[in-house]
Structure 1
Amino acid sequence: MKTNWLDYTLLTLVIIGAINWGLIGFFRFDLVAFLFGNLSWLSRIVYALVGIGGLYTISLYGRIKSGDEA
């Protein structure tokens, strides 16, 4: 299975999003809002990119499965 720069970039964004949700869940601390402002245009871009990354990583299920069969 060949991974490309897009896989690594979006997986990194998904990990950042997961860490942010963990911080929100455990400590009620939103790191993205802290760094970029509460729903500022920059924080909204970060949230949108994390969401797109999450949707994109759904494709990993199919690619991992097809990689195992090779």
Structure 2
Amino acid sequence: MKTVDYIALVLVIIGAINWGLIGFFGFDLVRVIFGDMTIVSRILYSVIGVAGLYALSFFGRVQND
């Protein structure tokens, strides 16, 4: 399960960086690399969205030391 957590975290970070670029500079890196809403970019956005939803489960699994 730890591998899935790391993959989800990496995808969420990629999504956050892309949204930061959009917010600060109006530059959509996914659109530049994969095209404007091509099937590949839509799949990538969907996978990152699912990873974000999965990452919500991290809150329930955080342990206090």
Could you say which TM-score interval applies, normalised by the shorter chain?
over 0.9
Unaligned runs of 5+ in 1: none
- Equivalences for 1:4-43 in 2 at 5 Å? 4-43=2-41
Q: CA deviation at 1:51?
A: 0.3
Query: How well do the aligned residues superpose, as a CA RMSD in angstroms?
Result: 1.2
Which structure's CA Rg is the greater one? 1
Aligned length: 65
Q: CA deviation at 1:49?
A: 0.6
Q: Deviations over 1:26-47 (max 9, x none)?
A: 1100000101011000000110
Structure 2 residue 49 is matched with structure 1 residue 51: yes
Unaligned runs of 5+ in 2: none
> Which amino acid in structure 1 is aligned with residue 28 of structure 2?
D
Q: CA deviation at 1:14?
A: 0.4
